[in-house]
Amino acid sequence: MLFHPAIMALLLADALTLILLLPAGLFALRLLRHWDLNSGSARQIRLERQTYLVATVLGFVFAVQLVSLLLLVFTADRLAVQFVGAMCAVGTFNVNPFGFPALFLKLALFFLASAWLFMNHVDNRAPDYPLTRVKYGLLLVVLPVAALAAVVQVRYFLGLQADVITSCCGSLFSGEKTVTAELAGMPPLQAMIGFYSVLGATVLGGLFALWRRRGALVFSALSAVAFPVAIAAVIAFLSLYIYEHPHHHCPFCLLKAEYGYVGYLVYLPLFVASALGVALGVTLPFARAATLQPIMTRITPRVVAMATSLFMLCMVLFTWFSWRSNLVLLG
């Protein structure tokens, strides 16, 4: 199904991402070999200049992947009508085994890119480029993930064959194979317990880190866990409450107009909070240089505070939507 415009756009976005990241990866290898801050040689100056380009490329990749993530979800939703049994995006992703992995890889890329950008931001604040080596090591992780994401996405699209009338004489009515339109969700009560305990622990961890100025790493680990837990919670109970339907588990339909675009309201704080937590967690263990201490002392509390308040907002929103719904799941 490669001639669909949105699919072409997605493939183009991935192609451009790779075209820009590959030289960046090569540059990372060169930098890791020759970087020497104390040298005033022409090569060092050239390397320093090139770091600006890589940072710009990563910013571009991040923005493009964000648009592309949303486009993938909406395209999957729009294409659902072409597959028997697919009611919405979930069905489309289930058409072949590469659908959900393509989505997950894009998410991974999003988090990796945001972590890199955060690390870059911190690195630039110190006069001696303390995180540069780690940063470019991280880039060498981003690159294969991006390549894998692109390949899986292509494989997914190649495997999309619409269930259309293929013959003028046949009576196929494509009834034989149907796509699983359902996402299995956990039992609602368990999911609620899991959600509130994990998110609650994360918020408490954040508040503790702010009060005692310690344990930010623990908070980061918790925020990394909070993300999948929250998504599972959306699937298990929040979507049911929002759609007021006991079997509609789709986490994507929330983003549509008919539900008032509440998906954005729920996902935005979740994504930002998790991205911040993960970024901090990726940066902190390497931020040992003396020049970074004053910077981290300033930045860490701000990041933790922002992430904690966003997680709290998440919990409030989940509770609000569950409370207000006309559907009764428990009791």
Partner 1 sequence: MTDAFIELRGVRKAYNEGLPNQFWAVDGVDLMLERGRVTLLTGPSGSGKTTLLTLLGCLARPTEGRVRVAGQDVSSLPERFLTEQRRHNFGFVFQQFNLIRGLSVLDNVMLPAFPLAPPHGALRARALQLLGELGLAHRSDARVEWLSGGEAQRTAIARALINDPPVVIADEPTANLDTHLSKAFLAIVERLKDEGRTVILSSHDALVAEASIVDRIVSLRDGKVVG
Partner 2 sequence: MRHWIARQRYLIDYTVAALARRMAKNAGLVAVYTALVFVIASVLLYSHALKREAGYLLQGAPEVVLQKLTAGRHDLVPADYVEKLQGIRGVRSVQGRLWGYYFDPLASANFTVMVPPDRVIPSGSIVIGEGIARTRGAAEGDVIAMRGSNGALILLRVAEILPRESNIVTADLFLVGEADFRALFSITPGLYTDVVLSVAQPREVRTIAEKVLLVLPDTRPVLREEILRTYEAVFDWREGIVLMLLVGAGLAFVILAWEKASGLSADEQREIGVLKALGWETGDVLTMKLWEGALVSGFAFLAGFSLAYWHVFTFSAPLFAPVLKGWSVLYPDFRLTPAVDGLQLASLFLFTVVPYVAATLVPVWRAAVTDPDRVMR
Angstrom distance (rounded) from CA 192 to CA 12: 40
Query: Which residues have C-beta within 8 Å of that of residue 100, sequence separation ≥ 6?
Result: 93, 94
The residue among 46 and 245 lying less far from partner 1, judged by its C-beta, is 46
Instruction: Lay out the site mask for partner 2 across 63-92 (x = CB under 8 A, - = otherwise).
Output: -x--xx-xx--xx--x--xxxx--------
Q: What is the DSSP letter of 251?
A: S
Residue 95: half-sphere exposure toward Cβ, Cα within 13 Å: 27
Q: How far is the CB of 74 from partner 2 (least distance, A)?
A: 5
CB 235 within 8 A of CB 185: yes
Q: Please report, as residue ranges, which positions from 34 to 53 form the binding site for partner 2 (by CB under 8 A).
A: 49, 52-53
Is the Cβ of residue 198 or residue 303 nearer to partner 2 in the bound state? Answer: 303
* C-beta pairs of 213-220 under 8 Å, 24+ apart in sequence: 213/301, 216/280, 216/284, 216/300, 216/304, 217/281, 217/284, 217/285, 219/277, 219/280, 219/304, 219/307, 219/308, 220/277, 220/278, 220/280, 220/281, 220/282, 220/284
94 binds partner 2 (CB under 8 A): no
- Helix axes of 216-233 and 188-212: crossing angle, nearest 10 degrees: 160
Provide the token pair at 309: 């308040």
Q: Which does 141 bind (CB under 5 to 8 A by kind): partner 1, partner 2, none?
A: none
Contact with partner 2 (CB under 8 A) among 31, 91, 163, 274: 163
Residues 169-208 vs partner 2: string with x where CB under 8 A? xxx-xxx---------------------------------
Q: Least separation, in Å, of the C-beta of 171 and partner 2?
A: 4
Binding residue (CB under 8 A) for partner 1 from 35, 100, 129, 259: 129
CA distances from 18 to 25, 297, 305 (A): 10, 36, 35
Q: How far is the CB of 49 from partner 1 (least distance, A)?
A: 8
As given in the structure block, the two tokens for residue 323 are 């409370």
How far apart (Å, rounded) are the C-alpha atoms in residues 269 and 307?
8
- Look at residue 2 and give the partner it binds from partner 2, partner 1, none, a contact being a CB closer than 5 to 8 Å depending on partner kind: partner 2
Identify the three-state secondary structure at position 260: coil
Q: Which stretch binds partner 1 (CB under 8 A): 36-44, 149-157, 271-279, 314-322?
A: 36-44
Say which DSSP state 286 is in: G
| Cα 229 to Cα 227: distance, rounded to the nearest angstrom | 5
Q: Which entry of partner 1, partner 2, none binds 9, CB below 5 to 8 A by partner kind?
A: partner 2
- What is the SS3 assignment for 1? coil
Among partner 1, partner 2, none, what does residue 133 contact (CB within 5–8 Å per kind)?
Answer: none
Count of residues that interact with partner 1, criterion CB under 8 A: 14
Task: Give the Cα separation of 203 and 128 in Å (integer).
Answer: 34
31 counts as binding partner 2 under rule CB under 8 A: no
Q: Applying CB under 8 A, which part among 55-63, 68-76, 127-135, 152-160 lies near partner 1?
A: 127-135
186 vs 272 by CB, closer to partner 2: 272
Alpha-carbon dihedral sign for residues 323, 325, 329, 331: positive
20 scored as a contact of partner 2 (CB under 8 A): yes
Name the residue with tokens 């509609």: 248
**Binding status of residue 42 toward partner 1 by CB under 8 A:** yes
Among 41, 178, 190, 297, binds partner 1 (CB under 8 A): 41
Residues making contact with partner 1 (CB under 8 A): 37-43, 45, 48-49, 124, 127-129
In the complex, the residues that contact partner 2 under the rule CB under 8 A are: 1-10, 12-13, 16, 19-20, 49, 52-53, 56-57, 60, 64, 67-68, 70-71, 74-75, 78, 81-84, 162-165, 169-171, 173-175
